[in-house]
Amino acid sequence: CCHLCSILSQRYRQQGGALVLGMAMMMPFCVQGAGALANASAVIIAPIVLVKTADLAFGTFTPTATAGTVTLNPDGTRIGSNVILSATAQGNAASLNLNGNAGSSFTVSLPNSAILIGPGTSIMHINSFITNLAGTTVFGVSGISTLKIGGMLSVDANQALGPYYGNFDLLVNYN
């Protein structure tokens, strides 16, 4: 029992039981401590490995006198607004194989935008990215998932002709 209870018990014996009511009121505070045993564990899994199989390419198009966009969907379909899309060099979505722990969930984080740099000081912006693996996804039995990434490219009116290049970062994390 606690130290206070020991003192009260001694006084109770010395005074012949006169502290009975006082002892009874103090007893809820004079309890023995309790212990418990908890286990701990950890599981180490392989890191997620990304293997790029294709770059994001918006293909060939011609700008017009009005600003427009080229949207490339993860399935490779392309939609133009105020641009003339070429039937050749249609472009393709970026593609990556993701290798991870089978049955584990993961999320893909993409940037809000990216810049493509062209001739001279010309630039174009990718204003949004689109993926086939939105939200939380789970690695299948094989531990492999395929990530496809498209986006919407903003094209200025009479955009300077020539090739444009850039890059973007993405992050894939276990949940």
Strands 144-155 and 94-99: antiparallel
CB-based contact 130:75 (threshold 8 Å): no
How high is the pLDDT of residue 135? Answer: 86
Task: Look up the pTM and report it.
Answer: 0.76
Distances, alpha carbon 52 to alpha carbons 1, 19, 97, in Å: 68, 82, 6
Phi, psi of 145 (to 5 degrees): -130, 150
How high is the pLDDT of residue 4? Answer: 56
Average pLDDT value for residue range 116-130? 96
At 2, is the pLDDT very low, low, confident or very high (cuts 50, 70, 90)? low
Distances, alpha carbon 12 to alpha carbons 17, 24, 83, in Å: 5, 11, 98
pLDDT at 24 over 60: no
pLDDT at 48 over 70: yes
Strands 105-109 and 83-85: unpaired
Average pLDDT value for residue range 128-141? 93
Phi, psi of 15 (to 5 degrees): -100, 10
Tokens of 107: 């999320």
Distances, alpha carbon 173 to alpha carbons 34, 63, 86, 130, 146, in Å: 41, 38, 37, 18, 15
Average pLDDT of every residue of the chain: 88
Q: Residues 139-171: pLDDT tens digits?
A: 999 999 999 999 999 999 999 999 999 999 999
Q: Residues 73-100: pLDDT tens digits?
A: 999 999 999 999 999 889 999 999 999 9
How high is the pLDDT of residue 140? Answer: 93
How high is the pLDDT of residue 13? Answer: 58
pLDDT at 23 over 70: no
pLDDT at 20 over 70: no
